[in-house]
Amino acid sequence: MVQHVAATETSPALVALLVVLAVAELALLAWALVDLYRRPTSQVNGGSKIPWLILCLLLQLIGPVLYLVIGRERPAPATAILSPGAAVPPPLAAPRPDAAAVVDTLFAGPTGGPDGAASSGPAVELGAVRKTFGDAVALDGLTLNVPAGSIYGFLGPNGAGKTTTLRILAGLAHADAGVVRILGRDVAGGSADARSLIGFLPDVPAFYKWMTAPEYLRFAGSLFGLSGKELDDRVAAMLELAGLTGVSTRVGGFSRGMKQRLGVAQALIHGPRLLLLDEPTSALDPIGRRDVLDMVASLRGRTTVFFSTHILADVERVCDTVAVIALGKVVVESGIDELRGRRGGLNRLSIEVDDPQRLREGLAGAAWLRTVEAGDAGELLVTCDDVEAAQRELPALVGRLGLALRRFGVDELDLEDVFVDLVGEGRR
Amino acid sequence: MNGFAPFLRKEVSETVRTWRLWVLPGFLLFAALSSPLVTYLMPTLLDSLGTAQQGLSITVADPTALQAYLEYLGNLSELTLFALVIAYGGIVSGEVRGGTAALTLAKPLSRAAFVLGKWLSQAAVIVVAAALGTVICVGLTRLLFDGGPAGRMVLAVALWAFYALMLLAVMVLLSIELKAPAAASGAGVGVYAALVVLAQFEVTSSATPAGLPAAGLAIVQGEPAQWAAPLVATVIVTAACLVAAVLRFERREI
């Protein structure tokens, strides 16, 4: 901490001077008070000792009071006192409970509940939403529907409009045009009714630093109308879920991972019917990331999760459905498997023969063929519309041409390839 | 207003548990203690100055309780109000800039509850601190002087409190309009200066909030004071600022 550094760097001469000053100050005060006590009132200017006594004591108080009130940071438990930028050790948290069991208790109450997940309409409807900041277009006719009960990945590069979309859904920003509905309720006009159904975690959650985690969760729960034993039970469950049980440190001393877990907990406190998560894992270490994803995965079927990210592995791990957004527009919206298979360029075969040039010439005119490229190891990379036809016909072609087949296989393109492809197309 | 009670509880807790509690009460306490003391000792101090400098003769009338009260009111109207304007420049924008407002306002807390909770909690701090400061000032003055118009003093401080609550409402509005706390404080100082200027003219002093501090001083001195119209105007301006603040904040993106 800065104060500690300053203290250790204080020179002996300065310390000696400060000691002399302190002794002189105390001696002067004692001298004045003793003199005031002994001296007859008639020999005191003003005719009264009281104002001089108050003056002596008051001036003596000012410096210490100023220091104690504004000159120091609020004391925090020792675990929270760290130098800026230092890594914060993880708390001595209780063993992580079964997330699904805790989530069960959360969605058992009347505030949230799985009814939202079970309802027939979409949890989120965005229709031709447009949002500009000056000349910059953040959302350009964004349209998508998030099925109730799904874990929906909202994928896009930085600056694509993900955070703007989530801020509009959370009632923190207004769309310039278009339809924005949450569980059938219009969000326009900052409806508290719609906000009561959602839990929201921004990309960088900011808490009141002077609160502890239980205090913040109680505050969050009370804003949703929770109170009494129900609130107590939910706070305890959320602390357990977030691994923050028994952590008495103020939030100001939390690590990023602890804040993120607390952020998820505060968003879940009322059992929301729609959970909005803005890049919840982007700054977490692998363990923190796994914890958050486990929490999200445990919500499947209980509520709807709308989950923005640019981390493709997270989407593949927990999401049912995904929308890819670029430059404020949805480039594609589909299931994960469907996304991998829906584009012709997604199926690629790799084939290695003794004469690649002859095979390349022989491939000309094949109905299923899209492209042929030379691979790094001398193989041919063949992309196609109909992978089954290619798998049938390509070996047969090799046989007809009299070539020696050394290696043949299907490369399934991963989501990253799809993402790069789609985003690049969206930008064009 | 959705969420008003829990948000108000949070504001009060925050005030008590952070530095915010100590700024205005600190000024008020200092004014309450120093005003009677300085008034009482002033003749002695000036006499010492005259003795130290040969040929200089300063004659000062005996200090009175009234002078102590006027000194206290002067401190309230200048030092304390200036501190108020500086301290509350970020009363709303501080939370918006810090990101805590986003997490709070994504819950079913109405924007009106957010704005009014902030104003009401700090209004309570000002009123309680002014009451305590006045008790201390009156007590100390009674200890040092004989008598004094304590009842009129309490009335004058009550008028000052209305004036301070109006300035607080102005700061809430400015803190919503101007995203930077320093800019809001600067604009607040401008508003305060404009009120001081308006107080110099009979027309504006008698019919606008600008006349309220002067009315308080007149009341303490037992002089006829035009306080009703400035008080009504102050209440109206306070309400108008709060309504405008709520309306503006409801349109504000967080």
The domain in which residue B190 lies consists of 4-251
pLDDT score of B25:
86
Q: Are both A290 and A355 inside the same structural domain?
A: no
Nearest CB among A202, A206, A223 relative to B6 is that of A223
Residue A207 lies in a domain: yes
Q: Which residues of chain B have pLDDT under 50?
A: none
Considering the domain boundaries, does residue A88 fall inside one? no
Q: Which of B26, B41, B110 shows the shortest C-beta gap to A46?
A: B41
Number of folded domains that form chain A: 3
Mean pLDDT of chain B: 90
Of the residues A337, A361, A380, which one is the last residue of a structural domain?
A337
- Contact indicator for B216, B159 with CB cutoff of 8 Å: yes
- The answer to whether the pTM exceeds 0.90 is no
CA angle A144, A146, A147 (to 5 degrees): 135
Contacts of B106 in chain A (CB under 8 A): 170-172, 195, 198, 200, 202
Extract long-range pairs of A384-391: CB within 8 Å, 24+ residues apart. Answer: A384/A344, A384/A347, A384/A348, A384/A349, A385/A344, A385/A347, A387/A347, A387/A349, A390/A347, A390/A349, A390/A366, A391/A349
Q: So what's the pLDDT on residue B163? A: 96
In this structure, the answer to whether residues A271 and A193 fall within a common structural domain is: yes
Dist. CA A367–CA A385, nearest whole Å: 9
Q: Is A262 on the interface with B (CB under 8 A)?
A: no
- Answer yes or no: do B108 and A223 touch at CB < 8 A: yes
Beta strands of A258-320 (E only): which ranges?
A: 274-278, 304-309
pLDDT tens column, B208-247: 999 999 999 999 999 888 889 999 999 999 999 999 999 9
Whether residues A352 and A385 share a domain: the answer is yes
| Interface size between A and B, measured as CB pairs under 8 A | 102
Q: Which residue of A has its CA nearest to B48?
A: A45
Rounded CA separation B229/B224 (Å): 14
Q: Are A303 and A113 in contact (CB under 8 A)?
A: no
Residue from B107, B109, B142 to probe the interface with A (highest A Cβ count within 10 Å): B107
Cα distance between residue B241 and residue B237, in whole Å: 6
pLDDT for A99 equals 67
Contact B123, B168 (CB under 8 A): yes
Q: Which of B100, B144, B250 sits opposite A208 (nearest CB)?
A: B100
Residue A402 phi/psi, 5° resolution?
75, 30
Judgement on whether residues A132 and A67 belong to the same structural domain of the protein: no
Tell me whether B105 touches chain A (CB under 8 Å): yes
**DSSP symbol at B201:** S
Residue A89 lies in a domain: no
Helices assigned H by DSSP within chain B: 4-17, 23-52, 65-75, 81-87, 93-98, 100-105, 111-144, 150-177, 181-198, 202-207, 212-220, 228-251
Is A77 domain-assigned?
no
B204 Cα to chain A: minimum distance (Å) = 39
> Which of residues 109 through 128 in chain B touch A, CB cutoff 8 A?
109-111
pLDDT of amino acid A243: 86
Kindly give the interhelix angle for A99-106 and A286-297, rounded to the nearest 10 degrees: 50
CB within 8 Å: B10 and A69: no
What's the sign of the alpha-carbon dihedral A377, A380, A384, A389?
A: negative
Domain assignment of residue A83, yes or no: no
State whether B6 and A192 contact (CB < 8 Å). no
Same domain for A356 and A401? yes
Same domain, A141 and A238: yes
Do A40 and A116 lie in one domain? The reply is: no
Q: Give dist(CA B253, CA A172) in Å, integer.
A: 6
Residue of B14, B37, B250 lying closest to A208 (CB–CB): B14
- For residues A205 and A259, membership in a common domain is answered with yes
The verdict on A302 and A370 lying in the same domain is no
Residues in contact with A57: Cβ distance below 8 Å, sequence separation at least 6, in sequence order? none
The reply to whether A363 and A301 lie within a common domain is no
Strands A321-326 and A369-374: what pairing?
A: unpaired
DSSP string, A156-200: --TTSSHHHHHHHHTTSS--SEEEEEETTEE-TTT-HHHHTTEEE
Question: Could you give the angle at the alpha carbon of A154 between the alpha carbons of A153 and A158, nearest 5°?
Answer: 135
pLDDT in tens, A360-404: 888 888 888 878 888 877 888 888 877 788 888 888 999 999 999
Q: Which residue of B has its CA nearest to A71?
A: B19
Q: Is residue A80 part of a domain?
A: no
How many domains does one find in chain B?
1
Q: What is the CATH number of the domain that holds A318?
A: 3.40.50.300
Would you call B200 an interface residue with chain A, using a CB distance cutoff of 8 Å?
no
CA distance B171 to B158: 20
Q: What single DSSP character describes residue A210?
A: T
Interface of A with B in 71-90 (CB under 8 A): 74
Residue for token digits 């927990």? A318
Residues A181, A299 within the same domain: yes
Residue A79 counted as domain residue: no
CB atoms within 10 A of CB B231: 18
Range of the domain at A417: 343-427
Binary contact (A222, B6; C-beta < 8 A): yes
If asked whether residues A311 and A349 sit together in one domain, one would say no
Neighbouring-strand partners of residue A307: A153, A277
Amino acid, single-letter form, for residue B56: L
Which of A195, A206, A219 lies closest to B6 in CB terms? A219
For chain A, which residues score pLDDT lower than 70? 1-10, 46-47, 65-100, 108-120, 189-190, 340-346, 412-418, 421, 423-428
ipTM above 0.90, yes or no: no
Residue of A54, A164, A176, A278 for testing the chain B interface, max B β-carbons within 10 Å: A54
- CB-nearest to A195 from B44, B106, B250 is B106
